[in-house]
Structure 1
Amino acid sequence: MPVISAPHAFNEGSLFVDLESIFGYRLYLKCEGFNFAGSIKLKAANEMVESAERDGTLKPDSVLVESSSGNLGVALSMIAASKGYRFLCVTDPRCNLSTKLLMEALGSQVHVVTDLDENGGFLGTRLEYLRALCASDDRYVWLSQYTNAGNWRAHYRTTAPEIAGHFPRLDVLFVGTGTAGTLMGCARWFREWHRPVRIVAVDSAGSVAFGGPPGRRMIPGLGMSMRPPLLDESYVDEVIRVEEADTIRTCHRLARRGFLFGGSTGTVVSAATEWLARQDARELTAVAIAPDLGERYLDTVYQTNWLQDLYGEQLLDSAGMPDPAWDEGPAPRAPGRRHRP
């Protein structure tokens, strides 16, 4: 059992879930949510902060600032609290309430922008706010996860070797695409490996990361309203775009089997099962990366009213929501002491 003195010193990198009994394919899910930040973003956050410390960009009186839809903001909040830095996260209305509250509980300040950018998202507005903030005071240090090479280097050093160590005969890897840090770190590492691995990038429908028209996206995590500066498509073999309705159905299907994962995981698993259904997958070894767990999505992906308002009754039926009849009839009697007359 490890003994640590800083929260970012612990990260479980060797846990995989075999999904064959749920989806019928030999698909292994790499679970990245078991650390004190609760997501894969701890790796990138730690790499970027330590790099900024080494090169002197980050000083004791610096104020860390970053744009995040949630998970990186939590990771930076945790690291900032541990190291004694102030941190300001710039986010938007799609950020889960629980995520915002968690950042504030860790001592961070959260600023929510509400104006849409030219692509119908909020990213451009968040970046404009950060640029103005940094121009106003040189104490602000913007790590810029969208352009920072430390973002992909973290996964080149950790995530990809962790997968290869458990699956030396890996055939295909499914990676969700937001900033493209995880995707590019893993893709670069496997490009240099001793055998070919097919890299399938997973994106949300409505994202413009790989081109195409922008569309409504309500689940934070994957997708971008601009092309990710870190993205190099020459390392990607295939791209699959997933509708949010399919993300939600997959999340609920996993939950019905006791695995509560976040929206990004639902998107990646949905893409992986779709891809495997089109292949002769019996001899393939496939891994998908689960960026986080599902607790931060209880008021969105797993909340009936939120789903009904945004997607309608039909999705609730197909997502496998609990049957209201479960609530009918008398409640089971709680166990208690028996009294003799």
Structure 2
Amino acid sequence: MPVITAPHAFNEGQLYVDLRPIFGRSLFLKCEGFNFAGSIKLKAAVEMVEAAEQDGLLSKDSVLIESSSGNLGVALSMIAASKGYRFLCVTDSRCNLSTRLLMEALGSEVHVIADLDANGGFLGARIDYVRALCASDQRYVWLSQYTNPGNWGAHYRRTAPEIARQFPRLDVLFVGAGTTGTLMGCARYFREWHRPVRIVAVDTVGSVAFGGAPGRRMIPGLGMSMRPPLLDESFVDEVIRVEEADTIRACHRLARRGFLFGGSTGTVVSGAMSWLAEHDERDLTAVAIAPDLGERYLDTIYQSTWLEDLYGDQVLDPKAKTAPEGLTTATRDAEPVPRTPDGRRKP
């Protein structure tokens, strides 16, 4: 029985759900929500805070500040409370109410930005707000998850090795793309591995992370309204974009079997099932990363009024669109990338 004195000391990293009984295709879902922060963001938060401490950037008077759509904000709130720091989270109106209340319950301050940036998102406005606060008071310490190498380093050192130990014959890995910290950390690790692993990034329609036109995005977590500074596309084999309606259908399909996951997980599962429907998955070992659980989405993607107001009353009807398994209309952006026997891209 583990006994801990700090909340971030516990993080279950070896729990997988076999999705074949639910979706009819072989996919193992790595569950990253079983920690006191409730999401995969705990790993990056710990890495970035400890690096700032080692570099002498934090003192007893410091105020941690970060832009977050929710999950990283919760993780930093928890760590700040444990370590005795103040924390200010700059978020926007898409952040779930339960997430904002949770951060405040942990003693953090939350500022909500309502102004859109040039790409129709909130990220640029949030970052401008953070920069202005940092310029106004030297006590603010901005960890900058969008540029901090600790973001991807946490997954290079922890998430990817956890998968490798459990699945030594891994063929394809599906990773959601937000800041791309998880994506880049895992992709870098498996590029150096003993066998080639296809890395499939799953993004949401309306995100401009991999190019394309910006569009409305109401579910926080995945997607960006700017190109992620951490992103190096040479490590990514394919990109799949998922409509938010398909994210919602995947979440509800999982929930009907007793698995309550968050919106980011629904997007990744939807994209993965679309990819598997187009490939012979009988001899493939496929893993997808589930970033969070679903309790914080009860007033959004699991609330009928919210769904109908934004997506119409047919959003949960699997016959509303024709797609593999009646689940997803995700689109694949990239052609398969030729690889050398050691897994590297051919010139």
TM-score (normalised: structure 2) = 0.91
Q: After superposition, what is the alpha-carbon deviation per residue over 1:128-153, rounded to whole angstroms, capped at 9, x for unaligned? A: 00000000010000000000000000
**Residue type at the aligned position of 2:226:** M
1:239-318 equivalence runs, <5 A: 239-318=239-318
Q: After superposition, what is the alpha-carbon deviation per residue over 1:77-109, rounded to whole angstroms, capped at 9, x for unaligned? A: 000000000000000000000000000000000
**SS of aligned partner of 2:194:** coil
Corresponding position of 1:177: 177
Corresponding position of 2:32: 32
Corresponding position of 2:50: 50
**SS of aligned partner of 2:315:** helix
Asked if 1 retains the 8 angstrom alpha-carbon contact of 2:248 and 2:316, the reply is no
Q: After superposition, what is the alpha-carbon deviation per residue over 1:276-320, rounded to whole angstroms, capped at 9, x for unaligned? A: 000011000000000000000000000000000000011133499
Corresponding position of 2:232: 232
Once residues 292 and 308 of structure 1 are traced to their aligned partners in structure 2, the CA distance between those partners, rounded to angstroms, is 24
Unaligned runs of 5+ in 1: 321-341
Corresponding position of 2:124: 124
- Quickly say closer, same or farther: Cα 1:319–1:96, change in 2 above 3 A: farther
Asked if 2 retains the 8 angstrom alpha-carbon contact of 1:249 and 1:319, the reply is no
1:67 and 2:59 equivalent?
no
**Residue type at the aligned position of 1:220:** P
1:153 and 2:162 equivalent?
no
Corresponding position of 1:166: 166
**Residue type at the aligned position of 2:42:** L
**Residue type at the aligned position of 1:24:** G
**Residue type at the aligned position of 1:47:** E
**SS of aligned partner of 1:158:** helix
1:76-115 equivalence runs, <5 A: 76-115=76-115
Once residues 208 and 319 of structure 1 are traced to their aligned partners in structure 2, the CA distance between those partners, rounded to angstroms, is 29
**Residue type at the aligned position of 2:121:** G
Once residues 317 and 154 of structure 2 are traced to their aligned partners in structure 1, the CA distance between those partners, rounded to angstroms, is 40
Q: CA RMSD in A?
A: 0.9
Corresponding position of 2:134: 134
Q: After superposition, what is the alpha-carbon deviation per residue over 1:18-41, rounded to whole angstroms, capped at 9, x for unaligned? A: 001111111000000000000000
- Quickly say closer, same or farther: Cα 1:125–1:319, change in 2 above 3 A: farther
- Quickly say closer, same or farther: Cα 1:68–1:318, change in 2 above 3 A: same
Q: After superposition, what is the alpha-carbon deviation per residue over 1:189-248, rounded to whole angstroms, capped at 9, x for unaligned? A: 000010000000000000000000100000000000000000000000000000000000
Name the larger-Rg structure. Answer: 1
Once residues 44 and 6 of structure 1 are traced to their aligned partners in structure 2, the CA distance between those partners, rounded to angstroms, is 16
**Residue type at the aligned position of 2:46:** N
1:269 deviation in Å? 0.3
Percent identity reads 83
Once residues 308 and 319 of structure 1 are traced to their aligned partners in structure 2, the CA distance between those partners, rounded to angstroms, is 16
**Residue type at the aligned position of 1:210:** F
Corresponding position of 1:327: none
Corresponding position of 1:335: none
Q: After superposition, what is the alpha-carbon deviation per residue over 1:121-177, rounded to whole angstroms, capped at 9, x for unaligned? A: 000000000000000010000000000000000000000000000000000000000
**Residue type at the aligned position of 2:247:** T
**Residue type at the aligned position of 2:37:** A
**Residue type at the aligned position of 2:160:** A
Once residues 209 and 101 of structure 1 are traced to their aligned partners in structure 2, the CA distance between those partners, rounded to angstroms, is 29
Once residues 200 and 2 of structure 1 are traced to their aligned partners in structure 2, the CA distance between those partners, rounded to angstroms, is 35
**SS of aligned partner of 1:315:** coil
Asked if 2 retains the 8 angstrom alpha-carbon contact of 1:203 and 1:239, the reply is yes
Asked if 2 retains the 8 angstrom alpha-carbon contact of 1:308 and 1:316, the reply is no
Once residues 176 and 65 of structure 1 are traced to their aligned partners in structure 2, the CA distance between those partners, rounded to angstroms, is 24
1:58 deviation in Å? 1.3
Once residues 118 and 130 of structure 1 are traced to their aligned partners in structure 2, the CA distance between those partners, rounded to angstroms, is 17
1:118 deviation in Å? 0.4
TM-score (normalised: structure 1) = 0.93
Once residues 37 and 153 of structure 2 are traced to their aligned partners in structure 1, the CA distance between those partners, rounded to angstroms, is 19
Once residues 90 and 274 of structure 1 are traced to their aligned partners in structure 2, the CA distance between those partners, rounded to angstroms, is 34
Once residues 72 and 145 of structure 1 are traced to their aligned partners in structure 2, the CA distance between those partners, rounded to angstroms, is 9
- Quickly say closer, same or farther: Cα 1:39–1:197, change in 2 above 3 A: same
Asked if 1 retains the 8 angstrom alpha-carbon contact of 2:18 and 2:29, the reply is yes
**Residue type at the aligned position of 2:62:** S
- Quickly say closer, same or farther: Cα 1:146–1:120, change in 2 above 3 A: same
**SS of aligned partner of 1:43:** helix
Moved over 6 A (4+): none
